[in-house]
Amino acid sequence: MVQYLETGAGRRLAYHRHDGQGPGVVFLGGLRSDMTGTKAVYLEDWARVQGRAFLRFDYSGHGQSSGDFTDGCIGDWAEDAAAAITALTEGPQVLVGSSMGGWISLLIAKRMQERLAGLVTIAAAPDFTEDGMWAEWSDAQRQACMAEGRVALASDYGEPMIITRRMIEDGRDQLVLRAPLRLDMPVRMLQGTADADVPVAVAMRLLDHLEGGDIRLELVKGADHRFSDPGCLATITRAVAEVLANA
């Protein structure tokens, strides 16, 4: 059954949670995804079998949470994640961040590393508003975003995606690849070689950037950005189990 958390910022976050042994596992979804996605539900089912505490939730403007997508930004969604982890979990957690959720997990690691037992990222997309969108847009798209406050981008996942000026400007305050980032915890990064949204070069850049004693990148040949076929799902739970064993 869906439950709701009222955050200090006045946002109402929908979530599913079950109790179990720690460290718990928290799933952080991607941009415009929600907690009913294949990876989130599969991971929850796995955690139940393991007797492991688990949390999945919708950022504001996503899924069943309050707000409109176009009102949000990376900073808001990182705030949502921090609020959910603080209010709905106990003790150390392993964050599993997919795409934008990978960026969010790194922001959480910067701000509250004492609450984390480890990270698993899936096609992590750190700094994508600046390095993936703004850097690749045409002059016309940049001008439209700044002058009109928004730009519509074609999407392979449904309706065009509206990217706002606020998302771009806030993204510049959330960048994680510009300053050293040390993670004193086990980190497993998963990346498909056929990912058309987040190139392997992004994963390699993140691997090179992170500092820590137990950080590994695994490339899955032929896997796309969804990373949701049976083999990829098994790879995710194997990575989570490895992080838990080394936490």
Residues annotated as catalytic are 99, 195, 225
- Report the SS3 class of residue 15: strand
Beta bridge partners of 150: 164
- 204: CB partners within 8 A, 6+ apart: 217
- 177: CB partners within 8 A, 6+ apart: 126, 127, 131, 205, 206, 209
Instruction: DSSP for 133-172, please give it.
Output: IITTS-HHHHHHHHHHSEEEE--TTSSPEEEEHHHHHHHT
Task: Determine the number of helices (DSSP H) and then strands (DSSP E) in the chain.
Answer: 8, 12
| φ and ψ at residue 166, rounded to 5 degrees | -60, -40
Amino acid at 147: A
